[in-house]
A and B are shown apart, each in its own frame.
Chain A
Amino acid sequence: EPEVTQTPSHQVTQMGQEVILRCVPISNHLYFYWYRQILGQKVEFLVSFYNNEISEKSEIFDDQFSVERPDGSNFTLKIRSTKLEDSAMYFCASSEGLAGSSGNTIYFGEGSWLTVV
C-alpha cells in the first residue's frame, strides 16, 4: 500500500541551527502538508502546498519556516534557526484531491521527531 515516507525519524539539533525535514508523498497525490504535534498535545496544521506554491499556512508557519518541492518526489520543511519551542513531531501528509472531492483523505507519514537542545 502506498505510503508517505519521512526522514529522518529523529533529529537532535542545537538551538539556532537550520533543520531540513524530508518527505516523499504518495506518488499520485497533488496536495502536500506539514503538521506539527508538540509532545502530549494535539496535531496542528502548519502549511499546505499545491502546484509548487503554498496554498494555505497557519500562524505557526512564520518566516522561520519554508517548504519546497525540489524535485518530482520530495517535499521538504526547513526551519532556519531552530528554537527550543520547535521541538515536536513533524508530520508530512498528502492527499490526492481537494476538500470536497472524493480524494481528499489526508494520509500521514510516520513523523520526524525534532529535539532542539
Chain B
Amino acid sequence: AQKVTQAQTEISVVEKEDVTLDCVYETRDTTYYLFWYKQPPSGELVFLIRRNSFDEQNEISGRYSWNFQKSTSSFNFTITASQVVDSAVYFCALQTGANNLFFGTGTRLTVIP
C-alpha cells in the first residue's frame, strides 16, 4: 500500500526565514515518483517538482530546494528567504505503477510579513 505522511499540519514563519516542509512516504514499489504541489488560497494545484526513485540528486530552483533521501523515505522541501506569496498549502504526492497520485494531507504555510 502507498502512503504519504506530512506530519506538519501548519507552519508559520516570519518573512525571510527559511522553512522546511517534511514528507515521508511508504511504498513497496521500486520505481516511483514523488511530487510537490502548491495550493494557494485561490485553490488551484500548482505543480512544483517531480522526482523519480532512481535520482537522489537534490534539486534547487531559485528559492526552492528539495532533499530526496531513499534511506529515510523522505522528500523534504525547503523554501529559502520565504515571502508572503509563499503562503499556501503544500502537498507531497507519490505516484507508483498505477498512474494516479497519492497525496499527503498537506502542510499549511503562513508567511508573516
Contacts A105-B50, A108-B37: A45 and B101 contacting too (C-beta < 8 A)?
Answer: yes
- Which of A14-22, A65-73, A77-85, A95-103 contacts the other chain? A95-103
Interface of A is mostly: strand
Minimum Cβ distance to chain B for residue A36 (Å):
11
Contact bitstring B92-113, A, C-beta under 8 A = 1, else 0: 0101111111111110000000
Interface size on B, residues (CB 8 A): 25
In the complex, the chain A residue whose C-beta lies closest to that of B42 is: A110
**A89, A93, A108 pick with most chain B CB within 10 angstroms:** A108
Using Cβ atoms and an 8 Å threshold, which residues of chain B touch A35? 101
Question: Contact between B105 and A111 (Cβ–Cβ < 8 Å)?
Answer: no
The answer to whether A110 touches B43, judged by C-beta atoms less than 8 angstroms apart, is: yes
- Residues of chain A within 8 A (CB-CB) of B35 are 105-106
Are B100 and A108 in contact, CB atoms less than 8 angstroms apart?
A: no
Task: Select the residue from A33, A58, A106 with max chain B CB neighbours within 10 A.
Answer: A106
Q: When the two chains form their complex, are residues B33 and A43 in contact, meaning their CB atoms are under 8 A apart?
A: no
CA distance A43 to B111 in the complex (A): 23
A48-77 CB contact bits vs B (8 Å, 1 = yes)? Answer: 100000011010000000000000000000
User: Would you list the 8 A-B pairs with minimal beta carbon distance, nearest first?
Assistant: A108-B45, A110-B44, A45-B100, A43-B103, A42-B105, A99-B99, A42-B103, A105-B50
Q: Which residues of B contact A (CB under 8 A)?
A: 31, 33, 35, 37, 42-47, 50, 91, 93, 95-106
Partner-B contacts on A (CB < 8 A): 31, 33, 35, 41-45, 48, 55-56, 58, 89, 91, 93, 95, 98-100, 104-111, 113
